[in-house]
Amino acid sequence: MGVSKLVLSTLFLATLVVTSNANFNDEFDITFGDGRARILNNGEDLTLSLDKYSGSGFRSKNEYLFGKIDMQIKLVPGNSAGSVTTYYLSSMGSAHDEIDFEFLGNVTGQPYTLHTNVFAQGKGNREQQFHLWFDPTEDFHTYSILWNPQRIVFSVDGIPIREFKNMESKGVSFPKDQPMRVYSSLWNADDWATQGGRVKADWSKAPFTASFKAYKAEACVWAWGTSSCGSVSSPTSTSDWLNQELDSASLERMNWVQKNYMIYNYCADVQRFPQGLPTECSQSS
């Protein structure tokens, strides 16, 4: 039995950490960028910039094992071709878990592509992509990840756009054993990000800047090998998000988004999986 599984078999009575409109100075470390990442307004705001020489990024000081994470983001305006703004959860190592929001830039007037993915034990290839029903560069919008033992839900302004359920009983790996940090970055990916790499970054428009605020984490903090919420089977926290599922109204909103704004779904890509679609594609994923 792995260390994390052994730890999760024991209850740890502790307090669920709830952070509302957290201070970026307190919650995050700048990871790269040599001054291109800036914490402003006494920790209330953060900006990431990208130029021809480097992008920038940050990560949470805390590791989490399950949580509901919100971040308000305003994406790079104008010609953002070649740039990728990321906001995701990830553990470490080759067999890592990861839950991704990636925003692929575009030329002025063309929509961003919102790319989502789920990795478990190093295996990803579960991409779903969307265009948004608003311009994400004009104002801040809230991007949320709900991660509990039963499901992962991606939401935009409180509207669910994707659900990935725990189907371990059918042999589908699910991220539940490895604590993850929150990461964000702005970087150059003009070899693939915009129209398959056909459109490159226009460095005369640099620096490109994305803005962040109103980070909120209702989450189980992982520290010294223990979770502040107890075990998966017997959590000590009574917070609603630990058992939250999509009600009928939320499912209806998600279906609306997927019908009108989804532009790629790996579960519909039969050419990519000639031997048959992945097991989880028989249900919502």
For 236: left if phi > 0, alpha if psi spans -120 to 50, otherwise beta; the answer is alpha
- Asked about 98 being catalytic, the answer comes back as yes
Q: Which of 102, 163, 218, 280 is catalytic?
A: 102
Say how far apart CA 235 and CA 98 lie, in whole Å. 22
| Residue 284 · residue 128 · CB < 8 Å | no
Residue 248: how many other CB atoms lie within 10 Å: 7
Say how far apart CA 219 and CA 227 lie, in whole Å. 10
Say how far apart CA 47 and CA 49 lie, in whole Å. 7
Residue 46: how many other CB atoms lie within 10 Å: 24
Q: Which of 98, 163, 218, 280 is catalytic?
A: 98
Please state, in angstroms and as integers, the Cα–Cα distance from residue 282 to each residue in 27, 108, 167, following that order: 39, 38, 11
Amino acid identity, position 48 = L
Residue reference for tokens 């999986």:
273
Residue reference for tokens 């509207």:
159
- Asked about 102 being catalytic, the answer comes back as yes
Per-residue b or e along 125-156, where b marks 16 or more CB atoms closer than 10 Å to that residue's CB: ebbbbbebeeebbeebbebbbbbbbebbbbbb
Active site positions, annotated: 98, 102
